[in-house]
Amino acid sequence: MFTGIVTDIGEIVSVAPGGKTGDRRFAVRTRHDMKPVAIGASIACSGCCLTVIEKGADRFTVEASGETLDRTHLGDWSVGTRINLELSLKLGDELGGHLVYGHVDGVGKVVSTAPDGGSVRFLFEAPSELARFVATKGSVAVDGVSLTVNEVAGNRFGVNVISHTQAVTTLGQARAGQRVNLEVDMLARYVARLLEHEKT
Quote the pLDDT of residue 87: 95
Q: What is the pLDDT of residue 67?
A: 93
Task: Identify whether 100 is part of a domain.
Answer: no
Domain count, the chain: 2
The 3-state secondary structure of the chain, one letter per residue: CECCCCCEEEEEEEEEECCCCCCEEEEEECCCCCCCCCCCCEEEECCEEEEEEEECCCEEEEEECHHHHHHCCHHHCCCCCEEEEEECCCCCCCCCCCCECCCCCEEEEEEEEEEECCEEEEEEECCHHHHCCCCCCCEEEECCEEEECCEEECCEEEEEEEHHHHHHCHHHHCCCCCEEEEEECHHHHHHHHHHHHHHC
- Count Cα atoms within 13 angstroms, Cβ side, for 37: 24
81 and 110 together in one domain: no
Query: Looking at residue 164, which CATH number applies to its domain?
Result: 2.40.30.20
Interacting residues of 48 by C-beta distance below 8 A, sequence separation 6+? 64, 68, 72, 74, 102, 104, 144, 181
Full residue range of the structural domain in which residue 83 is found: 8-87
Residue 93 lies in a domain: no
Give the side-chain half-sphere CA count within 13 A for 121: 9
Q: What is the pLDDT along the chain (200 residues), one digit of tens a residue?
A: 899 999 999 999 999 998 888 899 999 999 999 999 999 999 999 999 999 999 999 999 999 999 999 999 999 999 999 999 999 977 666 666 788 999 999 999 999 999 999 899 999 999 999 998 999 999 999 999 999 999 999 999 999 999 999 999 999 999 999 999 999 987 766 666 666 656 65
d(CA 59, CA 79): 14
Tell whether 136 and 173 lie within a shared domain.
yes
In this structure, is residue 94 part of a structural domain? Answer: no
Model confidence, pTM: 0.91
Under the phi-then-psi rule, with left for phi > 0, alpha for psi from -120 to 50, and beta for the rest, what region is 47? Answer: left
Other CB atoms within 10 A of residue 188 CB:
17
Q: Give me the phi and psi of 79, to 5 degrees please.
A: -55, 130
Both 118 and 80 in a single domain? no
